[in-house]
Structures are given as C-alpha cells and as structure tokens.
Chains A and B, each alone.
Chain A
Amino acid sequence: MTDKKQDEFYIGWVGKTPPTFAALTKRFVLVLLPVIILLGVLLAVSQKKFGTGNFEFGTLTEVRGIYFDKPVPNLRVVTGFGLEGNNSFVTIPLIGYGKFGADGAISDIEKAKHAVLNGKWITLKGTLLYNDGKALMQVDIGDNPITNIADVTPHPMTVDSEQLGSITVKGEIIDPKCYFGVMKPGEGKPHEDCAIRCILGGMPPMLHVVDGSGRINYYFIVGHDGGKINNSIKNYIAGPVAITGKAIQYGDWVVLYTDGPQSITAISKSALWQPKGSIMACAAGGTPLKTPTCSVR
C-alpha cells in the first residue's frame, strides 16, 4: 500500500497545499526569517565606520572674505588678531555644483559682475561642507552667490607661504567635495568612479595622507607651475599612491607641486595585476619625505 503522505502531490493552481508540502515550506520560511534578520544585523555592523563629514544640503551660508584663485579657488576669512597683533584667517576652498570645480561658477560671476574677483573682498553665499575642523564651500551660480565685491584696502593681506621642501608622501587621491561631506564613503574603491568624475569635472584633486595613529594631512595636488593636472592623473585616483613633489604651506592648507603623473606611482600588493608603469609593493608606513625604494616594473 502506498504511503498516503508520500503520495501527496502539489499543484500550484489548486488553492490548497498538501500538508507535508505546506509544513516544509513553512519550516523553510521560519528558518529563513531569523537568518535574514541575523544577516541584516551582521552586515550592518560589519560596515567600516562612516566618515564624520557634513554637507549642509539645502542650507545657504554667507561668508565674507578675500577671494584668491590660486593655488585653488579659495576664500580667506579673517578670524581676528593674534597675540602679536597679526591677522589670522581661515581658508575655505571653493568647489562647484555637482561634480565640477568652482572655476566655472567664478568665471560666470566675473562675467555677470564685470569684475575680476582675485584679491577682492567678497561676500559669498553657498553650501558648506566640513570635516575635521576644515570647511569648503559649494558655489552654485543658481544660488546667486555674490552679494558684495569690494577692493582690499582696509586689510591688505599677503598670501604668506612656508616652503616645506621636496617630499614623497603616500596616500590616496580623493575629491575633496565628496570626502569632506557629500558622500560616505568619499574615498576608496566603491567611490572611485565618482572621485574620477569629480576630478575630471575640475574639482581640485587632494591627497589624503594618514599615519599609523589615524592623524590626517590633506594636500592639494597641482602641476609644477601651479596649473591643473586633473586630466592626467585619472588612473591614480582612489587607490594607494606615492607622490613626490614640492610642498608649500599656505596658512591652513598644504599644496603639493608635482610633475603630474610622472610624480605619482600606484602602490599595490601584487605586481601581477598592475597596469604598466606602477611599482611593486612597498611596506606601509615607510620612511616619509623620501622616494620609495621599491623596484619599478
């Protein structure tokens, strides 16, 4: 005699599921439910810590300062007098809307206002982004960003600079807009395409350098004459690189003057999969301010 349970047969279009089929399906679903919840928790907690950056999306802030177009478009905001009666300032690098640098917006403003902004007091309205005590501002022509332009007569300010010499530093090339608040993560492989698109759109490339204890330096990267090298460094963005250049500190930011891609080497664990012209593995945390001693492929 045939076992009745064994002889049960499931037909999808019949409203009722045979008991043994229904029981196994129920068991499957009941096992899957805690598994799904557990996986959700596990995957969520295993994510790398999100960055602390902030993008004040939808909020416009007015800031008054002196505009300089070099080394990257920036606004210097006077913060007060120091102990020795000297002027101090905070530098706010400017970036554009979307995945663009600020040059386009500044050029549009200059045309509209029939004025050259470099070295002028301006009151600029834009969207702030900030992280780690440093701030940047998004300038969008749609925000009607300039409310005032004046000559710098009351407080002439020279762009003082400090030569830090020729150095080699290891880090990752990032686009500052995403890193300082627009995206999390704003660095690493998942963000690579976006960083490339931002830098190709004129965003000033920045080298993010971290030491063993988590302290960070940021270097704006420019050509040896201070010109843009954005288009020639595409293949080095968002991966570990070593860059050699002349470092100059302008107040609260450091700028690295390089010879473009010739000054950059990609760092990877394996030489097997590396594109041509990159170097083999270097020990992390090697001697700074010195060209890597790794063999070149």
Chain B
Amino acid sequence: MVKPLRKWHIRFWAILAVVIPAGMVAAVLARPQTASSIVLQPAPSIALPLVLKTISKSAYTASLRASVDTAKLQLQLVNKAVVTSPTLLVYQVGVPSTAATGTDTLLVGRVEATGTYQFALANVSAGAVRVELYDIIHHTLIDTISFTYQPPIKN
C-alpha cells in the first residue's frame, strides 16, 4: 500500500474500534422489552368434584368428572400440546337425539391454546361416555376418548 492508504487504513480501524463497540452497546441497550399484559380468559367454570375416570396421553389429559349425585357430567381436558389442526372441536357422541338438534352428536366445546378446559357433558347411559376430537375444517377425526366407568352407588 502507498503511504496515504496506509495512514487511512489505520485511521479507519481506529475509528471502527470506537464506533463498533459504541454501536453494539447502544443496540443492546435499545433492545425492546417484551410487552406483556394479563390476557382475557374464558369465563371460568368450576370443576365438578368427582373424578370418575382419567385418561392420559402425550397431547392431553382427559378426566370425566361428575357432581356428587352424578346428575351432571363434565369433561376436563388439559391440553398439553399446541393444536396443529385448523380447529379442534370436542363432540360428545351417542347422546339422545332431540327435535331441536336432530342428531346424536353434541358440540361440547373447542380447544385452542394449551391449558385446562372444562366442558359440560350430556348425561347419558351410565357407565359409558364417548367424546370425539374433530377438525371441522379438514373433516378429520383426530382422536376418540371413551370413558367406561362404574357409577358411584347412590344411597
């Protein structure tokens, strides 16, 4: 290199030796904090006291819960994995068909984010409740949960 370029070379690096660390420190200090808020949650429903049956899988834990007199049934679904289908709807099948519905399938709820969901179920013939996890967009049955249980003996 010729002398002027040699001079410019070292001047350039002396400037960079100041500017680069300064720029890096400023950029690190400027990093935004994650803005977080308390999120809106669905209206909480209270878990019924009796647990009649629990089925655990890697994606979820499903429990069939009931009121003390077993008149009310409830599905508690702890969703542990991110939903990877467009929708994840929970249907109870094998319920008595009514004039209003005209079907034996009842929509009991929808799962979106991970977390705990409680859905009221129709009380059907004692000892067997069948629930289907279904994607309405792809028309795909994702999973079936069958609870067979011994109903508590009523006094």
Contact = CB atoms under 8 A, between A and B. Distances in A.
A–B direct touch in complex (beta carbons closer than 8 A): yes
A288 interface: yes
B36 A284 contact: yes
A147 to B, nearest CB: 16
Interface of A: 52, 54, 61, 63, 77, 79-83, 85, 88, 90, 92, 128, 130-135, 164, 169-172, 189, 209-212, 215-217, 239-242, 247, 252, 254, 267-270, 273, 281, 284-286, 288-289
Contact of A240 (B33, B89, B115, B138): B33
Contact of B107 (A81, A133, A267, A288): A81
Contacts of A247: 40
B17 interface: no
B34 A82 contact: no
Given A171-B35, A241-B35, A247-B40, 16 more contacts: A79-B89, A80-B107, A83-B108, A90-B136, A133-B112, A133-B113, A134-B112, A135-B87, A189-B32, A212-B36, A217-B40, A254-B40, A267-B33, A268-B30, A270-B30, A285-B36
A288 B40 CA distance: 10
Interface stretch (B1-9, B63-71, B78-86): B78-86
B30 A242 contact: no
A211 B100 contact: no
Contacts of B108: 82-83
B153 interface: no
B58 interface: no
Interface of B: 26, 29-41, 82-89, 91, 98, 100-101, 103, 105-108, 110-113, 115, 120-122, 136-138
B39 A80 contact: no
Contact of A132 (B36, B82, B89, B137): B82
Contacts, number: 133
Nearest to A169: B37
A85 B113 contact: no
Contact of A269 (B33, B82, B91, B112): B33
A68 B11 CA distance: 65
Contacts of B37: 169-171, 209-211, 217, 285-286, 288
B113 A80 contact: no
A132 B37 CA distance: 19
Query: Chain A contact residues: over half helix, strand or loop, or mixed?
Result: strand
Contacts of A81: 100-101, 103, 106-107
Contacts of B120: 83
12 contacts: A63-B137, A79-B110, A80-B89, A83-B120, A85-B100, A90-B137, A135-B137, A267-B33, A269-B30, A285-B36, A285-B37, A289-B38
A130 B113 contact: no
B98 A85 contact: yes
Nearest to B34: A284
A82 B107 contact: yes
Contacts of B26: 273
A215 B113 contact: yes
A169 B38 CA distance: 8
A215 B89 CA distance: 19
Contacts of B31: 269
A72 B153 CA distance: 53
A54 B35 CA distance: 25
Given A61-B137, A81-B101, A269-B31, A133 B111 contact: yes
